[in-house]
Amino acid sequence: MLARLAHVRNWIFDLDNTLYPARANIAGQMDARITQYIVDLLGLDWDAARTLQKKFFHEKGTTLAGLIADHGVDPHHYLAFVHDLEMDVLEHDAPLVAAIAQLPGRKLIFTNADAPYATRVLERLGLSDSFEAIHDIHATNYVPKPDPQVYRGLCDGYDLDPAESLFVEDMARNLAPAKAIGMTTVWVNNGSEQGPGPAHDFIDFTTHDLAAWLHEVMEAA
């Protein structure tokens, strides 16, 4: 494995359900907040709002993208509402903090969330000082992963060579564009993947435990 990673100079991580376990169910909290936002915005009942939410997610990549396109929603207002979550389910993750600290080269967050929320999550995990930058949904002009243009924008914005970059994600579909531009890809297979997908031939490595996988990489160095 180490030989396959000798070229990596840039370590790029998704945030939600990647740097913490899916069982924390932050996604469940956020999902309910998004549905409530649509109920309040459009006056729909809960079931109709939920149907629209999932339609936007599957067609646009995020519910926010659909709400901006179809309803002119203010992204700052939306994100403040849906990210108003209880963080006490997240705990300091000493093994992950240590593993990321050992990685050589640059380390960045690449998320469809926003930086204020990402900062809160990283603080809870003990990772506040672990990353050079948070490339968030504002930086992509609200175009979410897996749109290929946002991966190119990430690389251009931070002068990253994709061939020297590794990207870690829990959503397998978000790894395909990364692989297409030459990144090494790691899928955190923790059950958070939504919906059926094509053959995962764009995944180089799969792990159920990110901290353990990173420690294995560094111990082999």
Question: Which residues, 6 or more positions from 141, have their beta carbon under 8 angstroms from its beta carbon?
Answer: none
Give mean pLDDT, residues 131-159. 97
**Whole-number pLDDT of residue 155:** 98
Is the pLDDT score of 3 beyond 90? Answer: no
Among residues 35, 54, 82, the one where a domain terminates is 82
Residues 48 and 12 reside in one and the same domain: no
What's the total number of domains in the chain?
2
Question: Can you give the residue range of the structural domain that contains 131?
Answer: 2-20+90-219
- 70 and 107 assigned to the same domain: no
Q: What is the mean pLDDT of residues 112-132?
A: 97
